[in-house]
A and B are shown apart, each in its own frame.
Chain A
Amino acid sequence: MLAVYKKELRSYFIGPIGYIYVASFLMVSALVFIYTNLYSGTTDITNYYALLLYLFVVLIPLLTMRMLSEEKKSKTEQILLTSPVSLSSIIAAKFFAAFTLFGGTLLLSCVQFSALYYGDSSPNLAIVVSTTFGILLIGSAFVAIGIFVSACTENQLISALLTMVAIAITLVMSILSGYITFTPLRAVVRWLSIFDRFYAFTYGYFDFAALIYYLSITVVFLFLTVRVFEKRRWE
């Protein structure tokens, strides 16, 4: 498992994708930060993260689009699948590699929060920590979705586009739910909305239900990815 993890992490930086991801994440997050915090002179980072979430629609596919599609296309998956390693540990290794880059870049971007201490202002540290934690959880769910999508196609571009659509849908759900008057349907849509669970974190408290929710999404999509491979092996 460690072998695949190291390989994936390294492969981000053998090619340009890792650099593109880190650079564009840092750049855009800095711009968003300037807009939401520095210009408006607030130490509240809730808006910053809320906007950043929409950025994930474009950025997460960068991390996951080639992960399995490329292996399938170049037939390199054959060495993975015929090695003495279990399928689930291969998928898990790939997930953790993508999540490491995601989380690492996110934590790196947190350096800019030091600007919030400018002068005699200071942010509410509990909110900073809890929202960042929430974003990490949402990111893990998105990465898992991306990995699942990339297992379903050989084409990186299709993989990226479908992931974008999938992430966009989960984000739009919460906006959509506001317009639904039929209560049961609204409940379902809200339940599916990844965004809705995030609000608890923005008040600075640790929502255990949300934690379980995001982790479940992650696990379910990784499990589905394993199933995609299993199914292909049997058909």
Chain B
Amino acid sequence: MIEINGVTKRYGEKLAADNVSFTVKAGEIMGFLGPNGAGKSTTLNILTGYLSATEGSAKIDGIDILENPIAAKQKIGFLPEQPPLYMDMTVKEYLYFVYDLKHCKLDREKHIREICNVVRLNEVFNRVIRNLSKGYKQRVGIAQALVGNPPVLIFDEPTVGLDPKQIIEIRNLIKKLGKEHTIILSTHILPEVQAICDRIVVINGGKIVANEKTENIARAVEGKRRMTFHICGPQNEVLKLLKATPGVSYAEAIGNRDLDSVAYLVESEENIDIRKPLFFALAEKRWPIIAMDVMGMDLEDVFLALVAPPAKATSRAKGGRK
């Protein structure tokens, strides 16, 4: 349905998108993930025809956005990062304007009513957009994308600046829309993609660094198992022992958590359970383990592992602590 092939965008010296390629199948919800400034918006703007790529092509349903922009744009509903709202119009005027702009052929009253029901805009239908809350403005932005019922929906950071309740509402809405549309959802918020998306494409520094199904992506970067132990005992000697235990690939003291215990981060080699040998080894020395955590990799770790240089392993471990 959506096909991006080798898209490169250069702003002078700066590469905003570097050979970006991915495809989205019909009916899929794709999460487009990346830190701020990674090239998400640039890529989406190219896909929607707002910008032109320096190299490469973007196709919607087989139609190239540059060769036949009008036909391609007909198939896209786009919510840009900042919703393109005319502040001095009412919601009604605005949606009617978008309806005319997109040369929509559906029954106007009925179609706009339906959209307002879906995104729940009915109670503000006759109000001026300027006076609406951020959440409502965002919904007007989504409504605008739905006008004309395009098969492809592209949402660029749709939940930015919303309160938690609104975020959940918008997510549920997108999930619902995903049943009938092909969706690209760009975000830098991880739980969002985890909750909604079938597939995740991660972009960083203008490059695609991962393109996996949501459940696979965690597995893709999960090599070693990591745990933290809280152990009472002299720090240096405990550390020496931890490192000497077979199967331990990495150990580090990460600080005092309470009065007499020290927390250690330990990584094991793949497929080796080091918990038991560690317990006996420490018991022999009479250094009790008073707490232990096994840290699963959640998307947060995955994400940081993908976008951060490997040297930041320790801070990553702390951040990923559950």
Residues of chain A at the chain B interface (Cβ within 8 Å): 2-4, 6-7, 10-11, 14-15, 74-86, 233-235
B84: A residues at CB distance < 8 A: 74-80
For the complex of A and B, list the 7 residue pairs with the smallest distance between their C-beta atoms, beginning with the closest: A3-B100, A79-B84, A84-B74, A3-B101, A84-B73, A76-B84, A82-B48
Name the A residues within 8 Å of B73 (CB-CB).
82-84
What B residues does A7 contact at CB under 8 A? 86, 97
Q: Is B221 positioned at the interface, with any CB of A under 8 Å from its CB?
A: no
With A82-B73, A83-B102, A84-B74 already in contact, the answer to whether A76 and B85 are too (CB < 8 A) is yes
Is B51 an interface residue, CB under 8 A from the partner?
A: yes
User: Which residues on the B side are within 8 Å of A82 (C-beta)?
Assistant: 48-50, 73, 76, 78, 80
In whole Å, how far is A74's beta carbon from the nearest beta carbon of chain B? 7
Within 8 A of A (CB), among B29-62: 48-52, 54
Are B80's CB and A14's CB within 8 A? no
CA distance A83 to B76 in the complex (A): 8
Q: Indicate whether B26 reaches chain A with its CB closer than 8 angstroms.
A: no
B85 near A11 with CB under 8 A, answer no
Q: Is there an interface contact between A81 and B88, defined as CB atoms closer than 8 Å?
A: no
Complexed CA–CA distance, A15 and B128 (Å):
13
Q: Is the interface of A mostly helix, strand, loop or mixed?
A: helix
CB–CB A83/B86 < 8 A: no
**A27 nearest CB across to chain B (Å):** 25
Judge if B209 is at the interface, Cβ distance under 8 Å: no
Q: How far is the CB of B283 from chain A (nearest CB, A)?
A: 64
Are A79 and B52 in contact, CB atoms less than 8 angstroms apart?
Answer: no
A234 contacts which chain B residues (CB < 8 A)? 52, 54
Pick from B74, B87, B98: contact of A79, CB under 8 Å: B98
**Complex-state Cα separation, A80 to B80, whole angstroms:** 12
Q: How far is the CB of A154 from chain B (nearest CB, A)?
A: 14
B52 and A233 contact, CB distance less than 8 A: yes
With A76-B85, A233-B51 known as contacts, the answer to whether A84 contacts B144 (CB < 8 A) is: no
Q: Are A81 and B101 in contact (CB under 8 A)?
A: no
Is B106 in contact with chain A by the CB < 8 A criterion? no
Residue of A nearest to B84 (CB): A79
Q: For the complex, give the distance between the alpha carbons of A167 and B49 in Å.
A: 34
Knowing A3-B101, A83-B101, A233-B51 are in contact, say whether A76-B70 is a contact too (CB < 8 A): no
**Cross-chain contact A75 with B80 (CB below 8 angstroms):** yes
A-B contact pairs, 11 of them (CB 8 A): A7-B86, A11-B88, A75-B82, A79-B98, A80-B101, A82-B48, A84-B69, A84-B103, A85-B103, A233-B51, A234-B54
Determine if B74 and A81 form an interchain contact, defined as CB atoms under 8 angstroms apart: no
- In the complex, the answer to whether A235 meets B11 with C-beta atoms within 8 Å is yes
B89 on the A face (CB < 8 A): yes
Measured in the bound complex, the distance between the Cα atoms of B54 and A7 in whole Å is 33
CB distance from B46 to the nearest CB of A (A): 10
CB contacts (< 8 Å) of A83 on chain B: these are: 73, 98, 101-102
Tell me if B71 is interfacial: C-beta within 8 Å of chain A: yes
On whether A233 and B50 interact (CB within 8 A), knowing A11-B88, A78-B80, the answer reads: yes
* Other A-B pairs beyond A74-B86, A77-B84, A79-B98, 15, CB < 8 Å: A3-B101, A10-B93, A14-B89, A76-B85, A78-B78, A78-B80, A80-B101, A81-B49, A82-B50, A82-B73, A83-B73, A84-B74, A85-B103, A233-B50, A234-B52
Min Cβ gap A13→B in Å is 11
CB distance from A234 to the nearest CB of B (A): 5
Report Cα–Cα, A86/B86, bound state, in Å.
20
B88 touches A15 (CB 8 A): yes
Residue of B nearest to A74 (CB): B87
Contact with B97, one of A3, A74, A81, A235 (Cβ below 8 angstroms): A3
User: Which residues of the other chain, B, contact A11 by a CB distance below 8 angstroms?
Assistant: 86, 88
A interface footprint on B95-109 (CB within 8 Å = 1, 0 otherwise): 001101111000000
**Inside 8 A of A10's CB, which chain B residues have their CB?**
93
Nearest-CB residue, chain B, relative to A2:
B100
Whole-angstrom CA separation of A181 from B282 in the bound complex:
104
Partner of B100, one of A6, A78, A79, A81: A6
Question: How distant is the Cα of A83 from the Cα of B11 in the complex, in angstroms?
Answer: 24
- Shortest beta-carbon distance, B132 to chain A, in Å? 15
Q: Is the CB of A79 within 8 A of B76?
A: no
Q: Is the CB of B76 within 8 A of A85?
A: no
Chain A residue with Cβ nearest B99? A3
Least CB separation from A7: chain B residue: B97
CA distance A77 to B144 in the complex (A): 14
Instruction: List B contacts of A233 (CB < 8 A).
Output: 50-52
Instruction: Name the distance in Å between B211's Cβ and chain A's nearest Cβ.
Output: 24
CA distance A159 to B268 in the complex (A): 65
Q: Are B82 and A4 in contact (CB under 8 A)?
A: no
Q: A81-B49, A84-B74 are in contact. Are A14 and B88 (CB under 8 A)?
A: yes
Question: Is the CB–CB distance between A84 and B82 below 8 Å?
Answer: no
In angstroms, Cα B51 to Cα A234, docked, is 6
Docked complex Cα distance between A78 and B44 (Å)? 12
Which A-chain residue is minimally distant from B85 (CB atoms)?
A76
